[in-house]
Structure 1
Amino acid sequence: MNLPDIKSWIKGHLGSDIKVTEQAGRKRTNEYEGVLSEVFPAVFIVDLESNEQPAQASFTYSKILTEDIEVTFINKD
């Protein structure tokens, strides 16, 4: 998958529930769950579901390409 494909894939899921798993160092990960709220040319924004601050998180498409983050779209039925 290349960068334009990643951007169009993310843009196609605008408004969807999303889970982002970020590599945070040696055997550590951070997980973010929320709604994909905005898509920009270089980043996408996730409105987080938790009451913790900050209420949003931004991620670059290149982090998906380099496998620094893993994106999963959640189907809530």
Structure 2
Amino acid sequence: MLKDNALLKIKKSIEPFVGKKVKIKANRGRKKTYEKIGILEKVYPNIFVIRIEESPEFINRVSYSYSDVLTDSVELIFCAGNGKAVKIKH
């Protein structure tokens, strides 16, 4: 039950940033990390989707679960309207 509340809290903290620019840092295992800048496209009950434009003709979409944020496998940093960065924490 405690985990469900934490996941809901993470989802609620991400929802206001739909359509906003986000920097994502994801752990890919074996000391490999993935860092990209994209747009938070959609928020679903169990996952969220980020659109990453690799080039003008290639758009990549990646999805992560809220438990990825909870376990620190994924770190999200949003650009706030006042020019400050907002890091999503669990």
TM-score, normalized by length of structure 2? 0.74
The separation in 2 between residues aligned to 1:47 and 1:15, in whole angstroms, is 10
Q: Partner of 2:87 in structure 1?
A: none
Q: Partner of 2:79 in structure 1?
A: 74
Q: Partner of 1:12 in structure 2?
A: 16
What CA RMSD, in Å, does the superposition of the two structures yield over aligned residues? 2.1
Deviating 4+ runs (over 4 angstroms)? none
Larger radius of gyration: 2
Which gives a bigger RCO, structure 1 or 2 (Cα 8 Å, sep 6+)? 1
Q: Which runs of 5+ in 2 are unaligned?
A: 84-90
Q: Deviations over 1:21-66 (max 9, x none)?
A: 1111122101121110111001111110212856211111110001
Identity %: 32
> Matched residue pairs, number?
77
Q: Which has the higher helix share?
A: 2
Q: Which runs of 5+ in 1 are unaligned?
A: none
TM-score, normalized by length of structure 1? 0.85
